[in-house]
C-alpha cells in the first residue's frame, strides 16, 4: 500500500514537472543516461562471463538468468523495452536538430547499446516485443527520417550505417549472442510445457472468489498455494509472482481495485494519445511532440509483456511506468 501511494505521488509529481519544458528535457536525458548505463552493465557482464550481478559469487540456487541488475532476464528485457524507445527519440532529436556533434554521437551510442542489450538478453518475449516496438517506431518516424537522410550526402549515410552495423556485430560476438539464438531454437519444445500456463489456469479458477476488493495487495504468494492445492491441475514449485500481471492484480485488488488500476494505466495512455492528436501539432513544443509517441510505444510494450510475465510487480519498472503515465496525464495541460 505504501508503494502504491508513492507511485501515485510519482505520477502527480511528473505530471506537474512536465509543465516545464526545461525539466521535461532533463527528465528525458536522465532516462536516457540510466538506460545506457544499465545496458552497458548487462553487456559487460555477458562479455566477461560474469556468474552473478556485479561479478559476485553465484548463489547455491544458481541465478542463471540475470542481466545487469535484474535477477530475471524477462524483467531486464521489460525494462530495456521501456527505455530504448526514449533513447531512440534522443538520437532522432540529436540528428534532427543538428546540435553539438558530441551530444549526437553520445545519444546514438546509447541507442545502439540499449538495442544490443535487448538482443543479448535471453528473454524471447522481450525480443519479440522489441521487434514490434521497432516496427511501430519506423512507421511513426520512418518517413520523416528518410526525408532528412535524402538531404544528406549518400556517402555520409552509408558510412554511418556501416559503422552502426559493425558495432552491433562486434557487440554480438563479445556478448555471446548465440545464447538467445539457442533459446529461440527450443521455442516449440519449451513453450507448450511452461508451467506458467498451468499457474494462470489456477488463478482463473480463483477469480469467482476474489470479491470486490480481492485478498489484499501483496498477498499473492500466501493465497496462491491455497487455490493450487485444491486445483485439478496443480502446478509444482513455489510461486512468488504469477507470470501474468493482470490476473495477479485481480487476485490482490479485486474487481474494484483492478478496475481503478486499469483506468489509471490504460486511461493515461488514451488521454495522452487524444491530447497528442488534438493539441500536439498546434500547441506543443517540438520536444514534447517528439517525446510523447515514444512514451506511448514504451507503455504499450510493457502492457503486452505483462500478459506472460510480471514486469508490473517490479519496483523499478513500476517507477518508470508511473513516470510515463505522469507524462501522459500531464499532457492535458501542455496546451496552456
pLDDT digits (tens, 9 = 90+) for 9-63: 999 999 999 999 999 999 999 999 999 999 999 988 988 888 889 888 877 766 6
Q: Is residue 188 situated within a structural domain?
A: no
Contact 321, 312 (CB under 8 A): yes
What interhelical angle do 315-330 and 2-17 show, nearest 10?
A: 40
Q: Is residue 189 situated within a structural domain?
A: no
Note the pLDDT of residue 100: 66
Give the count of domains, the chain. 1
Contact 38, 79 (CB under 8 A): yes
Note the pLDDT of residue 136: 94
Residue 65: count other Cβ atoms within 10 Å of its Cβ.
15
Domain encompassing residue 172: 2-183+194-333
Q: Cα–Cα distance between 36 and 32 in angstroms, integer?
A: 6
Q: Is residue 208 situated within a structural domain?
A: yes
Contact 296, 273 (CB under 8 A): yes
Q: Cα–Cα distance between 144 and 228 in angstroms, integer?
A: 53
Note the pLDDT of residue 151: 62
Residues of the chain short of pLDDT 70, as ranges, are 61-63, 98-100, 147-190, 192, 336
User: CA separation (Å) from 323 to 20, 82, 84, 246, 330?
Assistant: 15, 11, 15, 20, 10
Note the pLDDT of residue 280: 87
Amino acid at each position: 500500500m505504501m508503494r502504491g501511494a508513492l507511485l501515485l505521488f510519482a505520477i502527480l509529481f511528473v505530471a506537474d514537472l512536465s509543465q516545464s519544458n526545461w525539466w521535461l528535457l532533463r527528465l528525458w536525458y536522465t532516462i536516457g543516461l540510466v538506460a545506457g548505463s544499465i545496458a552497458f552493465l548487462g553487456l559487460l557482464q555477458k562479455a566477461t562471463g560474469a556468474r552473478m550481478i556485479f561479478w559476485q559469487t553465484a548463489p547455491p540456487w544458481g541465478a542463471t538468468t540475470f542481466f545487469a541488475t535484474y535477477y530475471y532476464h524477462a524483467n531486464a528485457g521489460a525494462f530495456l523495452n521501456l527505455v530504448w524507445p526514449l533513447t531512440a527519440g534522443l538520437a532522432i532529436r540529436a540528428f534532427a536538430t543538428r546540435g553539438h556533434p558530441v551530444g549526437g554521437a553520445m545519444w546514438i551510442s546509447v541507442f545502439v547499446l540499449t538495442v544490443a542489450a535487448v538482443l543479448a538478453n535471453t528473454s524471447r518475449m522481450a525480443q519479440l516485443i522489441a521487434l514490434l516496438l521497432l516496427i511501430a517506431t519506423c512507421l511513426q518516424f520512418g518517413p520523416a527520417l528518410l526525408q532528412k537522410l535524402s538531404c544528406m550526402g549518400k556517402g555520409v549515410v552509408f558510412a554511418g550505417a556501416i559503422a552502426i552495423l559493425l558495432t552491433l556485430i562486434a557487440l554480438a560476438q563479445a556478448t555471446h549472442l548465440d545464447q538467445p539464438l539457442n533459446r529461440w531454437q527450443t521455442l516449440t519444445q519449451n513453450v507448450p510445457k511452461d508451467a506458467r500456463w498451468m499457474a494462470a489456469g489456477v488463478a482463473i479458477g480463483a477469480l469467482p472468489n476474489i470479491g470486490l476488493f480481492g485478498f489484499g495487495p501483496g498477498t499473492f504468494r500466501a493465497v496462491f498455494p491455497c487455490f493450487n492445492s485444491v486445483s485439478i491441475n496443480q502446478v509444482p514449485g513455489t510461486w512468488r509472482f504469477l507470470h501474468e500481471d493482470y490476473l495477479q492484480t485481480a487476485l490482490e485488488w479485486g474487481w474494484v481495485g483492478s478496475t481503478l488500476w486499469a483506468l489509471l494505466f490504460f486511461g493515461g495512455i488514451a488521454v495522452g494519445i487524444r491530447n497528442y492528436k488534438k493539441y500536439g501539432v498546434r500547441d506543443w513544443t517540438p520536444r514534447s511532440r517528439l517525446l510523447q509517441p515514444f512514451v506511448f510505444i514504451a507503455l504499450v510494450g510493457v502492457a503486452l509483456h505483462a500478459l506472460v510475465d510480471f514486469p508490473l510487480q517490479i519496483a523499478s519498472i513500476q517507477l518508470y511506468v508511473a513516470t510515463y503515465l505522469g507524462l501522459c496525464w500531464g499532457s492535458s495541460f501542455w496546451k496552456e
